[in-house]
Amino acid sequence: MLSVPLLAVIALAAGASAASKNYLGFNSGSTLPDNSAKFKADFKAEFTTAQNLVGAPGTFNSVRLYTNIQAYSKDDPIQAFEAAIETKTNLLLGIWTSGTDNIDNELNALTKAVKQYGSKFTDLVIGISIGSEDLYRNSVTGVTNDAGIGNDPDNIVNFINEFKKTFANTGLAKVPVGHVDTWDAWTNSSNKAVIDAIDWLGVDEYPYYETGKNNVIENSGTLFDTAYKAALGAAGGKPVWVTETGWPSSGPNWDKGVPSVQNAKYYWDEVGCRVLFNKTPTFWYNLRDSNPANKMKFAITKDLSTTPLFNLTCPTTFETPNATASASASSSSSSATGSGSRPTGTSATGTTSGTASGSSPAQASQKSDSQPNLGAALQALSAGKYAALAVVAAGLAVL
């Protein structure tokens, strides 16, 4: 049986897309820890801190948002857009699609932003995610975890087509369109229609929440490798972005996962530095916490200080061995929280609906996050580069 180390796979994929730019960023909710709305000054403070973090392995000048709607408004553009323009922060936009049969308010907010800010805004948009973990919420695992109301593949595809039609003659026409979900949602063949409809796949993965898989911090790198490799194998050669990952610095234990500053640093090194940073577009969870209901705290800095809780400088050697587990094996290893996504009550966006980005349609405007610019990078991928990536995926499929 062929055995290909994960780092070798990443190297091949990186070589195939050498013209692509890799982005470093964080997720950003639309509300503060007390559930009050964030405004331009709040987003600007986040983006400024992110770009000036002491010891960072690159400039974190990208942000992932979960919605285009300003908190507690119907369809006003989120003020993160103005903050991004003033700080030259790349935007990975998000359209909330869980539990709804339309995305009218999201499209209205984005249309207003395009008209108001023009190319100053659209030039910063590197991509857009139509939905976040909707497929996971509708899965057996999501239902077991009471993760909230998701959406079906056919609806997601319809929303993708609606977005493309709405912005066909605007500065967003060439922006790569994707969807964010958990690794085991991507390996589920019933969701293939979504993969076929998008330009890139976003993966949320938290080894900390992998119940029943020996989720001690020393095993976190291997658990991440297995999940990431499975997503790469399912992608059919399309780019895979890591849209959420991290390890909490404080809070209660989860199975064998223990939150601590030391463990958050270990995870930063063994997953971020070893696998992700400057190798694939990555949006870490998180610069600061925004959900008071989540007892696990993931922020890497306190009060937006540019001096983080731990040393962000990457080491030169790592403890995690190269991954050789097969994509097919990893896709069949899910457990109660096998998706590596946060379960009920741990939403990143200020709700208790379950996953990192969870909210109901009515609540979506209250809890968005910010997305980076997938656009220029993915547009640079030629047919030949996609073919090279497809070869990598084919190799994974027979591991």
Judge whether 142 and 339 are in contact, CB under 8 Å. yes
Residue in 93, 65, 195 with CA at minimum distance from that of residue 135: 195
Q: Of these residues, 82, 106, 244, 270, which one is catalytic?
A: 244
Query: Rounded to whole angstroms, how far apart are CA atoms 172 and 177?
Result: 10
Cis peptide before 286 (omega within 30 of 0): yes
Query: Rounded to whole angstroms, how far apart are CA atoms 222 and 5?
Result: 11
Both tokens assigned to 316: 């030169």
Through-space distance between the first and last CA atoms of the chain, rounded to whole angstroms:
6
CA atoms within a 13 Å half-sphere pointing along the CA-CB vector of 350: 25
Query: Rounded to whole angstroms, how far apart are CA atoms 137 and 121?
Result: 32
210 is a catalytic site residue: no
CA atoms within a 13 Å half-sphere pointing along the CA-CB vector of 288: 23
Q: Of these residues, 82, 133, 210, 270, which one is catalytic?
A: 133
**Cβ neighbour number for residue 282 with a 10 Å cutoff:** 26
244 is a catalytic site residue: yes
Both tokens assigned to 241: 């972005």
Which residues, listed in sequence order, are joined to residue 26 by a DSSP beta bridge? 63, 284
Query: Rounded to whole angstroms, how far apart are CA atoms 152 and 67?
Result: 19
Give the number of residues written for the chain: 399
Q: How many angstroms from the chain centroid is the CA of residue 351?
A: 18
Query: Rounded to whole angstroms, how far apart are CA atoms 6 and 3?
Result: 9
Which residues, listed in sequence order, are joined to residue 180 by a DSSP beta bridge? 132, 202
Query: Rounded to whole angstroms, how far apart are CA atoms 71 and 36?
Result: 8
Residue in 208, 211, 212, 198 with CA at minimum distance from that of residue 241: 198
Q: Collect all residues with Cβ–Cβ distance below 8 Å to 100 and sequence separation of at least 6.
A: 151, 361
Catalytic residues: 133, 244
